[in-house]
Amino acid sequence: MKKLIVLSFVFSFLLFGTGAVNPAAYAAEELKIGVILPLSGPLANIGTMCRRGMDFAVKGVNSEGGIKSMGGAKIKLLYSDSRGDPKIGLSEAEKLIVQDQVSTLMGAFQSSVTLTSSQVAERYKVPYLSVIAVADAVTERGFKYTFRISEKAEWTGRDMITFMDFMGKKTGKPVKTLGLLYENSDWGQSSAKSWKKYGKQFGLDIVIDEAYPHGTTDMTPVVLKFKKVNPDAILNASYLADEILFIRTLAEARWKPKVIISAGGGEVEQGFFEAVGDLAEYHFSIIPSSGDIHETKPWVRKLDEEFRKEYGIELSSAASLMPYACMQVMIDSLERAASSDREKIREALAKTNITSGKAMILPYERISFEADGQNHNAPLVICQIQKRKLRAVYPPNVVAPGVTAVWPLPPMQ
């Protein structure tokens, strides 16, 4: 018997090396991540684009050997459809946590759904990485399990109005009056709050402030109000269908202001240009990045080519980019956590400090989280639609050679 024990010990030593090692730690396991997105209903298109970015990231890491610190564990994404409803997002979060036993949650594109689903995650102490949602409140509730790498709505408004001030001084054609147009949910309301704050700081006169219900079917009364007061610039926060309707209605009304800047809504979605053609030419948009990132990060081109083969569109010019980057941050955290334990993943997320790698497909210098769970290194890019492409025009360090902003909009023909 003693001889058998000795032989068993020698075999274990040869197989696992020295130290007290649990062989099970080397056995690859499946890491389940719950993802909440609007996969049906009016926002299904953007939900699908988010899913593609996340799938693309996971396919990459799984094909490269999985999470190495966990013996090659593969990531499995469990998707839940919020249908764009905060109440459904809440119930789906609970289902993923309790029934499916996911290690962490991600979602949910919409601020309103992110707020409810992350509240559930906080209650169950499950780490939650926000994807795209920009409402300030996401990281301003004192939560310990919610993290966000992208910007807050306040920063979006700040940078939109700072850009207008910059262009006004540069060209000698300043904006003096503003019109605010936004869908009446958490995203739109947060955006409007920021516009008002920074508009006041820059001495701009808000002459019309118009909220509307998401999914509206008639923009004519709204556009006629804007035409009557004739603001120099319109700041807009609208999802795809609403923004298409707004732009078409502007054309029908034979009116447009000097400047239109959108808060990274419908204009970044696939199908936008097919729907509006050249009607949105020279409109501005504020987003985390643009296809021009090739000029400063040539390695992105290879990713774009791979993504195009899979989905027919470049990763860096689609709304799939931020979800892709978010998933890379989650992959980095899982690798450092070396565990599917929720608490260890939360600790790893809190200690994130990324300055290189695929997550830096965004034009950031660093991704890290403060005590509030917010990445405070999230600069934004102002793009202009030129020949049906979003070209970066501000700040100056992200502008590709030969690209110049057209300011103001050419007059109606």
pLDDT at residue 202, as a whole number: 97
Contact 250, 256 (CB under 8 A): yes
pLDDT at residue 295, as a whole number: 67
Pull the structure tokens for residue 64. 């490269």
Q: What is the pTM of this model?
A: 0.83
pLDDT at residue 306, as a whole number: 95
CA–CA distances in Å: residue 226 to residues 113, 125, 204, 360: 30, 46, 16, 40
pLDDT tens per residue across all 413 residues of the chain: 444 434 443 333 343 343 333 333 434 579 999 999 999 998 898 999 999 999 999 999 999 999 999 999 999 999 999 999 999 999 999 999 999 999 999 999 999 999 999 999 999 999 999 999 989 999 999 999 999 999 998 999 999 999 999 999 999 999 999 999 999 988 899 999 999 999 999 999 999 999 999 889 999 999 999 999 999 999 999 988 999 999 999 999 999 999 999 988 888 877 888 999 999 999 999 988 776 776 667 888 899 999 999 999 888 877 899 999 999 999 999 999 999 999 999 999 999 999 999 999 988 889 999 999 999 998 888 999 999 988 999 988 888 888 999 999 998 87
pLDDT at residue 396, as a whole number: 86
Q: Give dist(CA 144, CA 126) in Å, integer.
A: 10
pLDDT at residue 318, as a whole number: 74
Report, in angstroms and rounded to the nearest whole number, the Rg of the chain calculated over CA atoms: 24
Q: Give dist(CA 212, CA 305) in Å, integer.
A: 39
Neighbouring C-alpha atoms within 13 Å toward the C-beta of 316: 27
The full length of the chain comes to 413
DSSP string, 19-39: S---GGGGS--EEEEEEEE--
Q: Give dist(CA 345, CA 27) in Å, integer.
A: 19
Q: Give dist(CA 262, CA 272) in Å, integer.
A: 13
DSSP string, 342-402: HHHHHHHHHT-EE-SSGGGGSS-S-EE--TTSB-S----EEEEEETTEEEEEESGGGPPTT
Q: Give dist(CA 146, CA 369) in Å, integer.
A: 10
Pull the structure tokens for residue 95. 């289902």
pLDDT at residue 170, as a whole number: 96
At 411 the three-state DSSP class reads coil
Residue appearing with tokens 């990132």 = 293
Task: Classify residue 366 by burial, with Cβ atoms within 10 Å: 0-12, 13-18, 19+.
Answer: middle
Q: Give dist(CA 203, CA 368) in Å, integer.
A: 34
CA–CA distances in Å: residue 47 to residues 90, 215, 218, 320, 323: 17, 16, 24, 9, 10
pLDDT at residue 125, as a whole number: 98
Domains located in the chain, CATH noted: 28-151+297-368 (3.40.50.2300), 154-287+381-398 (3.40.50.2300)
Q: Give dist(CA 413, CA 255) in Å, integer.
A: 10
Identify which of 167, 230, 171, 179 has the alpha carbon closest to the alpha carbon of residue 204: 179
The torsion of the CA quartet 294, 296, 298, 299, rounded to 10 degrees, works out to: -100
Ramachandran sector of residue 338 (left: φ over 0; alpha: ψ -120 to 50; beta: rest): left
Contact 259, 230 (CB under 8 A): no
